[in-house]
Amino acid sequence: MSLKKYWAKRDFKRTAEPKGKVLKTKEHRFVVQEHRTLDGRLHYDFRLEIEGVLKSWAVPKGPPEKAGEKRLAVQVEDHPLEYQVFHGVIPEGQYGAGKVEIWDVGKLKIKEKTANSIRFELFGKRLKGSFSLFQPPTFEKKNWLLFKNN
Interface residues with Mn ion (CB under 5 A) are: 35, 45
Min CB(66)–Mn ion separation in Å: 23
Q: Nearer to Mn ion by C-beta: 76 or 127?
A: 76
| Chain position whose Cβ is nearest to Mn ion | 35
Q: Burial of 123 by CB count in 10 Å (0-12 exposed, 13-18 middle, 19+ buried)?
A: middle
Q: Burial of 113 by CB count in 10 Å (0-12 exposed, 13-18 middle, 19+ buried)?
A: middle
Min CB(15)–Mn ion separation in Å: 13
Q: Nearer to Mn ion by C-beta: 45 or 78?
A: 45
The CB-based long-range contact list for 19-24 (8 Å cut-off, 24+ gap) reads 19/80, 20/79, 20/80, 20/81, 20/82, 20/83, 21/80, 22/52, 22/53, 22/80, 23/52, 23/80, 23/81, 23/82, 24/51, 24/52
Min CB(147)–Mn ion separation in Å: 21
Instruction: Give which of 98, 79, 90, 68 is closest to 29, Cα–Cα.
Output: 79
Q: Nearer to Mn ion by C-beta: 29 or 35?
A: 35
Min CB(5)–Mn ion separation in Å: 14
Q: Nearer to Mn ion by C-beta: 88 or 129?
A: 88
Min CB(4)–Mn ion separation in Å: 18
Q: Nearer to Mn ion by C-beta: 16 or 67?
A: 16
